[in-house]
Amino acid sequence: MNKDSLQCQNDILLMKALLIRAGEEGALIMFEESMQSEAVQKTIRVWRENNELIAFAYVDDYANLRFTITPEHICTVLENEIVDWGIRCMQIRNQQSHENQTLDASCKSNDLKRIDLFMRSGFVKEELHSLDYSRSLTISLPFFPLPAGFIIRSVKGEEEAGALVDLHRAAFGTQEMTVEQRLAIMRTPQYLLDFDLVVETDDSDLAAFCICEMGTRSDGKIIGYTDPIGTHPKYQRRGLASALISVELRNLKEKGAIRAESGTSSKNIAMQRLFEKMGFTCSAEHVWFSKNVIR
């Protein structure tokens, strides 16, 4: 078994195939977004056995360790190598940025083997969980109209990336989204400009947004992803997010999608209630871990 850095675009195709083979097809969009980042590409390592790709790992722009191993090659030695590599990547990143970010990781709440890996590797379990939501598009869809004084339109293009980042940061109260990360989303194969929607006021103020993407699974089924969704604090509690999702669900159905998926955190009660109002149900829960790394 040997490990290498990213060699060519063919490796990316092999990694996507490995995600599907490992039953992690839902992570393809996140993977595509991460591969747009040069900083992330520098952290990629692939493991091969007899010239066959059996595992890969990288640290994304949000300091999350992401990795996939073919089921038949999962073993303690390989898992430890991957975690050690992630720690080293985060140490280098902290040295370059003069920060002290933790290395984070997540897994499904019922993945006891992965939880054991993180715990024995010195990660600390966080209180915050991530929740996946899903709803069928083959049944009746809810409709919520916009209030007066607002319109829904598609994003104009990459020239609006800066304004969209400002809106995202205001909506979530964080500085996490950057122009580079927003552009990475807009440059993935699954991205559809017509489905990247914003709510705009009569005064051309951006009030809310919803990024909607589509992907075709290996079984040929089309799945839509309505994530993230956010509303500027000045315009919250006016039904803007409900109206946005109403439009996105219809867009997805018209394009042949059979299901819509999205997600939020365990602390975001407002978003959980919004999903439930829109007919989504919680389909999975993910637990999060963090590890301090010494620069």
* Residue 234 in this model has a pLDDT that exceeds 60: yes
In a domain, 35, yes or no: yes
pLDDT score at 10: 83
pLDDT at 153: 97
The domain boundary, picked from 48, 82, 101, lies at 101
Mean predicted confidence (pLDDT) in 119-146: 96
120 pLDDT band (50/70/90 cuts)?
very high
Give pLDDT, residue 254.
Answer: 96
Residues 278 and 148 in one domain: yes
Q: What mean pLDDT value characterizes the chain? A: 93
> What's the confidence (pLDDT) of residue 1?
55
pLDDT at 189: 87
122 in any annotated domain: no
pTM recorded for the entire structure: 0.89
Same domain, 155 and 246: yes
What confidence score (pLDDT) does residue 7 get? Answer: 59
139 shares a domain with 74: no
Q: Domain check: are 138 and 282 in the same one?
A: yes
* Whether pLDDT at 286 is above 90: yes
140 and 39 assigned to the same domain: no
pLDDT score for 86: 96
The confidence score (pLDDT) of residue 166 equals 98
Over residues 34-40, the mean pLDDT reads: 89
Confidence of residue 4 (pLDDT cuts 50, 70, 90): low
Query: Do 250 and 207 fall into the same domain?
Result: yes
292 in a structural domain = no
pLDDT for res 256:
96
Task: Say yes or no: 89 and 144 in one domain.
Answer: no
Residue 123 in any domain: the answer is: no
- What local confidence, expressed as pLDDT, does residue 190 receive? 87
Together in a domain, 168 and 267: yes
Residue 55 lies in a domain: yes
Q: What is the DSSP string of the chain?
A: -EEEE---HHHHHHHHHHHHHTT-GGGHHHHHHHTT-HHHHTT-EEEEETTEEEEEEEE-TTSBEEEEE-GGG--HHHHHHHHHHHHHHHHHHHHHHT--PPEEEEEETT-HHHHHHHHHTT-EEEEEEEEEEEEESSSPPP--PPPTTEEEEE---GGGHHHHHHHHHHHHT-S---HHHHHHHHTSTTEEEEEEEEEEETT--EEEEEEEEEEE-TTS-EEEEEEEEEE-GGGTTSSHHHHHHHHHHHHHHHTT--EEEEEEETT-HHHHHHHHHTT-EEEEEEEEEEE----
| 65-106: pLDDT as tens digits | 999 999 999 999 999 999 999 999 999 999 998 999 999 999
Domain that holds residue 265: 133-286
**Domain co-membership, 153 together with 214:** yes
Q: What CATH number has the domain bearing residue 271?
A: 3.40.630.30
Which tens digit of pLDDT belongs to each residue from 166-195? 999 999 999 889 999 999 999 988 899 999
Same domain, 97 and 175: no
Q: Is residue 110 part of a domain?
A: no
Residue 196 lies in a domain: yes
81 and 210 share a domain? Answer: no
For residue 136, what pLDDT band results from cuts at 50, 70 and 90? very high
Q: pLDDT of 192-208, one tens digit each?
A: 999 999 999 999 999 99
Q: What is the mean pLDDT of residues 33-43?
A: 88
Query: How confident is residue 2, by pLDDT bands cut at 50, 70 and 90?
Result: low
Inform me whether the pLDDT recorded for 244 exceeds 90.
Answer: yes
> Hey, CA dihedral for 112, 92, 84, 295, is it positive or negative?
negative
Residue 257 lies in a domain: yes
Number of domains in the chain: 2
